Structure 1
Amino acid sequence: MNRPLPFGPGRSGGSGHGDLAAVMQKVAQGDTHAFSVLYDGIAPMVFGIVVKVVRDRAQSEEVAQEVMIDLWRRAARYRPDAGSVPAWAATIAHRRAVDRVRSAQAASDREQAQAAREHTTAFDEVVEQVETRLESEQVRRCLRGLTELQRQAVTLAYYRGLTYREVAETLRTPLPTIKTRMRDGLIRLRDCMGVTT
């Protein structure tokens, strides 16, 4: 089943679409000879689709191989009334190729972001620490301006991650009361912090 892809010049599938539908039925039953026929019939087309999207030959061969394995595994899902085998294979190939490009782009973005973080200067880090400390002190000061119930509810919800219902159960207070106190408390916090909406 794990055959090298026939990507040489002049290779093209000799089986007609109807023949391939019959071949696919046999593949679905685990017939490895039928899979060889299918492989020879559509692997060049699959590779052609993938390489147009991925553009790197080595990666394209890898993705095309994955597509062919995918076709072996998913053969039982093929429905002739939904389209031809080549059309089905082309859809899978295109999807896989796009996924590979997106994955490669995401990896590149992560590497660039990491490099940018590593190049942050010590000065920027100190400024950020000072700003964070000042904000924390302001939050603490503003929290002291709330009622006891508001402060407890806000602390449980935002610093411990409890839901309104969990906050109500923890404080043994009716849920509507908690929702009202939280809303009022958050408005007072916002005003105290000078946050504009």
Structure 2
Amino acid sequence: MLGHVVIDGVDVPEEGGEGVDHIGELLSRVSQGDEAAFARLYDLLSPRVFGLILRVLVDRSQSEEVLQEVFLELWQSAAKFAPNKGQGRSWVLTIAHRRAVDRVRSAQASADRDVRVGFRDMEVAHDGVAEQVELRIEGQRVAQALETLPDAQREAITLAYYGGYSQSEIAALVGAPLGTIKTRMRDGLTRLRGELGVTT
């Protein structure tokens, strides 16, 4: 059974709910300066958001910094959420993913210098350093490729691979049939493979 929380006299379910975007409702209240709604939003989504960021950045301390940046942006920009363009949860996860990728890009020049020094001074660690840089570059390519997908396909893939949701959970979140979600993910992944030049 779904839990509920009362925010300023309004009963807001914690998770799920058919056809109702509860995260979107919280974002609407946050846009009006509702601190209790913001605290609830943080409690509900910070574990998912942190996990997403950590997958991109790997570094835990940087991930914690970006987590705070994401929720600061949500507090300041909640009014930009457009309910007619998707679910609140996927909007938040998209912001988090973009923030994480931005952090990777902004640190890339410094990382490149560190890698060059690492190649000279720590030959034993060479393979590990090269692999980490390769993973970060690949993460950027995937993020850029995701931006080329139609909104519905990008939303489904973002929720699955960055949010950790099953196809059934995604269907419930976005209010679409399970078969539709499977089709969106299949078609979206096919397009992603094309964008990334993957032929297998």
TM-score range, shorter chain: 0.3 to 0.5
Larger radius of gyration: 1
User: Using CA pairs below 8 Å that are at least 6 residues apart, which structure has the higher relative contact order?
Assistant: 2
| TM-score, with length taken from structure 1 | 0.48
Taking structure 2 as the reference length, what is the TM-score of the superposition? 0.47
